[in-house]
Amino acid sequence: MKRPAATAAALLALLAAPLFYAGCGNAKAPAPQLTKPTNATECVEPAATMRANHMNLLRHERDNIVREGDRSRKYRIEGCAQCHTKRAEFCDRCHDYAGVKPECFDCHYLP
Amino acid sequence: MPEMDRRSLLKMGAAAIAGTVIGNGVTLYTSPARAEEGGGPPGAAATNALEIPSKGKARWGMVIDNNKCTAQCTACTAACRTENNVPLFGDERYDGHWIRKVTLTPERGGPEKHLPLLCNHCDQPPCQHVCPVAATFTRHDGIVMIDKHRCIGCRYCMIACPYKARTFVFKETSEWTNKDVPKRAHGVVEKCTFCAHLIDQGKIPACVEACNKSGEGAMIFGDLNNPGSAIVKYIRAVATKGIREDLGLEPKVSYTGI
């Protein structure tokens, strides 16, 4: 170890590199590109509401649909599939981006 | 005249809560508006979009004429598997069964009986009574169902059921045979639903349809509350018997010829 100061500086620079890299570069992950349905222009609620609350709407109505047998409810997972015909290009892209793993599709078929 | 007042008040009260008896000691109360609509069976044309099929006056039941059911025929079980995504892995540890063909051997000799055994949709369902999370419930039309969103897979219901009608999902199917019906995720209990999704559309269960198609016609499905239905006429004409009626569970599936 002939030059301890230089070695320490190099090591520090190496360790801190990710911090500088994140600070200097564009830290944002690319926003998910969603394929919108062609057969309808509007969802059952405004897009912002659906984006934030679709899981709550579905979960809330679920009990009425399953336990009361009321299949005329507005928010049904089968209803989603009527317009959003490609799950991989819509649901999955946002779920992957947000890092959530819903269990809906374990049982319910969405193409 | 205080007595007259009281009587008229009681009359008014009785008229206000005019209800429909859907089972022994079970009364479905309908609002006056809905009572006027008639609330016919799901087969009737739904004039009102808010009409909920399972909240009609129907009480679904089944009679199986075992004299017509043959040992080799598996039309009902095969149809059920296709309709409801019930898996068959070829390994009896994992196979799900919603309807099974059971062989009965009389203790005192005599011919063997082969009968289809499915969930009896009891009026007093022991599976529902033991469920610790209220996942098993009885619909307004008497169909006993499992809310698989809520089921925790404890399997008390499997122990409680005297018909062995329930199976645990040890292994999931990878593919849907019928994409309109959800399959089950690992760790819940599954059983016959009387094809509630078809009943709500005004159709009959897949097993009954398959039985009729196969030419056996051993299964009669219908509304036990409708005096004009084929099943009520049959029950009035022929003596039918439920399996383990002694348990007092009041099953809605009954048999002749066992």
- Are residues A69 and B172, on separate chains, in Cβ contact within 8 Å? no
- Predicted ipTM beyond 0.85: no
Q: Is the pLDDT of residue A63 over 60?
A: yes
**pLDDT for res B1:** 43
Tokens representing A44 are 């059952």
Q: Mean pLDDT across the stretch A54-69?
A: 90
B147 touches chain A (CB under 8 A): yes
pLDDT tens digits, one per residue of B52-107: 777 778 999 999 999 999 888 999 999 999 999 998 898 989 999 999 999 988 88
Nearest Cα neighbor of B118 from B130, B136, B133, B100 is: B100
Q: Per mean pLDDT, which range of B22-31, B83-92, B178-187, B234-243 is the poorest?
A: B22-31
- Are residues A63 and B148, on separate chains, in Cβ contact within 8 Å? no
B257 or A24: which leads in pLDDT: B257
At A44 the three-state DSSP class reads coil
Which residue blocks in chain A are alpha helix, DSSP H?
4-24, 47-68, 77-83, 91-98, 104-107
Concatenating the DSSP letter of every residue in A5-18 gives HHHHHHHHHHHHHH
Nearest residue, CB atoms, A106 vs list B52, B147, B185 = B185
**Which DSSP category does A90 fall into?**
T
pLDDT tens digits, one per residue of B171-181: 988 889 999 99
Nearest Cα neighbor of B258 from B60, B64, B75, B72 is: B64
A66 touches chain B (CB under 8 A): yes
Domains of chain A, residue spans: 34-111
Q: Please tell me the distance from the alpha carbon of residue B18 to that of residue B32, in angstroms, as a whole number.
A: 8
Tokens 């089921």 belong to: B151
- Are residues A108 and B53, on separate chains, in Cβ contact within 8 Å? no
Chain B: residue whose CA lies nearest to A71: B52
Q: Is the pLDDT of residue B192 over 50?
A: yes
Q: How far is B179 from chain A (nearest CA, A)?
A: 6
pTM of the predicted protein model: 0.75
**pLDDT for res A4:** 81
Q: Mean pLDDT across the stretch A84-95?
A: 91
Q: Is the pLDDT of residue B30 over 50?
A: no
- Are residues B52 and A69, on separate chains, in Cβ contact within 8 Å? yes
- Are residues B147 and A69, on separate chains, in Cβ contact within 8 Å? no
pLDDT tens digits, one per residue of B128-171: 999 999 999 999 899 999 999 999 999 999 999 999 999 999 99
Nearest residue, CB atoms, B147 vs list A66, A103, A107 = A66
What is the fold of B60-256?
A: Alpha-Beta Plaits (3.30.70)
- Are residues A108 and B182, on separate chains, in Cβ contact within 8 Å? yes
**pLDDT for res B105:** 87
B21 or A30: which leads in pLDDT: A30
B183 touches chain A (CB under 8 A): yes
Chain A: residue whose CA lies nearest to B188: A107
- The burial class, CB within 10 Å (0-12 / 13-18 / 19+), for A14 is exposed
Q: Is the pLDDT of residue B189 over 90?
A: yes
Q: Is the pLDDT of residue A109 over 80?
A: yes
Domains of chain B, residue spans: 2-55, 60-256
Tokens representing B102 are 């059971």
Q: How big is the CA angle at B236 (ends B101 and B118), to the nearest 5 degrees?
A: 20
**pLDDT for res A36:** 87
B102 touches chain A (CB under 8 A): no
- Are residues A107 and B49, on separate chains, in Cβ contact within 8 Å? no
Q: Mean pLDDT across the stretch B180-200?
A: 93
**pLDDT for res B48:** 44
B202 touches chain A (CB under 8 A): no
Do B252 and B60 touch, CB atoms closer than 8 A? yes
- Are residues B54 and A70, on separate chains, in Cβ contact within 8 Å? yes
| Beta carbon pairs, A and B, within 8 Å | 46
Q: Mean pLDDT across the stretch A5-20?
A: 80
